[in-house]
Amino acid sequence: MKIFKFGGASVKDADGIKNVFNVLEQVGHENVLLVISAMGKTTNAFEVVIKNYFDKSPELQASIQEVKKYHNQILMELFEDENDAVFGAINTIFSDLESFLQHNKSPNYNFVYDQIVSLGEVLSTTVVSHYFNSRGLKNQWIDVRELIKTDNTYRDAIVDWDLTQKNIKGLKKKTLNITQGFLGSDENGFTTTLGREGSDYTAAIFAYCLGAESVTIWKDVPGVLNADPRYFENAILLNQISYREAIELAFYGATVIHPKTLQPLQKKEIPLYVKSFVNPLLPGTRVSKGADLEPQASCFIVKKDQLLISLSSLDFSFIMEENISEIFGLLHKYKIKVTLIQNTAISFSICVEDKFGNFPELKNVLAKKFQVTYNENVSLYTIRHFTEAAAETVAQGKEVLVKQISRETMQIVTKEA
């Protein structure tokens, strides 16, 4: 079986869904499992719904209607018959949302988040499945929540691999299967999510459990590039890279491949392809086993909107292991991800990503034991296989706050000059 993953950009509108159909017509669809994300910016739109729900905002219904209007517009462009069963199926999903909002008693934001945001993937796969059937491409729609089982760490759930593998092994083959990315469920049947952008990970989970032939992630780029073309000119395609290199790039923040995706594939040596849904017959990038697959060019990764925090002792004593252990315990508690570390005898600097907005609270706790200084909105550049010329390109016109070099990697924290 082959696993194909299509992200939100590929199904953002009716033309996108038609294009996914055309891609399958060109590359084949027998014995294929499709993993599909929410359409376009649906996840963001549901986050607005959640905010309005917790704020008890009068805009709650309007925000729900925005999501419904967006999906109905796509339906109208895909289906000529307004009595098609897909309209009822989509209305049922929104009715379930309304029912949840009326009856929910949990004050747990993360729990509520997963129950609501997950509907984006349910909506997209329902539309795609019905559309394919209408075009004569018969398929089996699968509720991934019945297969991928996790703990109850809402918004970043941990997979129960034994139970998940047992469930997935019974999947019907020799047909086109369509399921949702990003989702699972806990032992009580409540929906969980695998972390933002977790659909790639879903594809890898299925591939591992099925012993798949390959995984293909379909993107709006020709494959894995050595740099994000939004920030760097003359980005080039990497035709093939090793699992190790891809994991390194993902760890440092490359967004083409989700960080958790590669480990299960590497364990069973299942190749990963990154291809263009615009030009599906192009070879793209192959990620597979082999130490000889290192890129010959420097690879650039940039993470924007980072925080550079410097901690020093109040009495000029050394920052020792027990201090660092306490600091990391707090970072874990407040769900703040560390992207770079640098320390001296009496100071400890970290570049972090505060995606949950918990830094103000953490800062107050740290200030009880340390002197805390910080720079907001800094950028962290990582250069794999760096050269001095590559470093100069990154630093040009910027104030360099931290520079750190290892054998293969250079990291530079900058602020606009």
The pLDDT confidence band at residue 247, using thresholds 50, 70 and 90, is confident
Residue 61, pLDDT > 80, answer yes
Strands of 229-277 (E only): list them.
Answer: 240-242, 272-276
Backbone dihedral angles phi then psi of residue 235, each to the nearest 5 degrees: -65, 145
Mean pLDDT value across residues 65-85: 97
Averaged pLDDT of the chain: 94
**pLDDT (mean) for 61-76:** 98
Residue 281: its pLDDT value, please? 97
- What is the residue whose two structure tokens read 């099925």? 210
- pLDDT tens-digit map of 126-161: 999 999 999 999 999 999 999 999 999 999 999 999
User: How would you classify residue 28: left for phi > 0, otherwise alpha for psi between -120 and 50, otherwise beta?
Assistant: left
Stretch 175-191: mean pLDDT: 97
At 122 the pLDDT is 98
Rounded distance between C-alpha atoms, residue 122 and residue 183, angstroms:
9
> For position 196, what pLDDT does the model report?
67
Distances (CA, A) of 186 to 112, 162, 183, 195, 199: 14, 14, 10, 15, 18
> What are the structure tokens assigned to 137, written together?
């491409």
Give the span between the Cα atoms of 352 and 379, in whole angstroms.
10
Residue 294 CB contacts under 8 Å (≥ 6 apart), including other chains: 241, 242, 245, 385
Rounded CA-CA distance 244/228 in Å is 20
pLDDT in tens, 256-272: 787 689 999 999 999 99
Supply the pLDDT for residue 294.
66
Decide: 415 and 375 in contact? Cβ < 8 Å.
yes
> Can you read off the two tokens belonging to residue 56?
């008890």
**Domain spans, the chain:** 2-212, 299-416
Helix (H), strand (E) counts: the chain:
13, 16
pLDDT at 32 over 70: yes
CATH superfamily, domain 2-212, is Acetylglutamate kinase-like (3.40.1160.10)
Q: What are 77-120's pLDDT values in tens digits? A: 999 998 999 999 999 999 999 999 999 999 999 999 999 999 99
pLDDT over 80 (residue 193) = yes
Tell me: the pLDDT tens digits for 345-381? 888 999 999 988 999 999 999 999 999 999 999 999 9
Q: What is the mean pLDDT of residues 193-219?
A: 94
Give per-residue burial for 81-115: e unless 16+ CB within 10 Å, then b: eeebebbebbeeebeebeeebeeeeeeeebbbbbb
Q: Is the pLDDT of residue 311 over 90?
A: yes
Superfamily for the 299-416 domain: VC0802-like (3.30.2130.10)
pTM over 0.75: yes
pLDDT band at residue 173 using 50, 70 and 90 as cut-offs: confident
Tally Cβ neighbours within 10 Å of residue 297.
Answer: 14
Q: Is the separation of the CB atoms in 352 and 312 below 8 Å?
A: no
Please determine whether the domains at 2-212 and 299-416 fall in the same fold group of CATH. no
Average pLDDT on 43-72 reads: 98
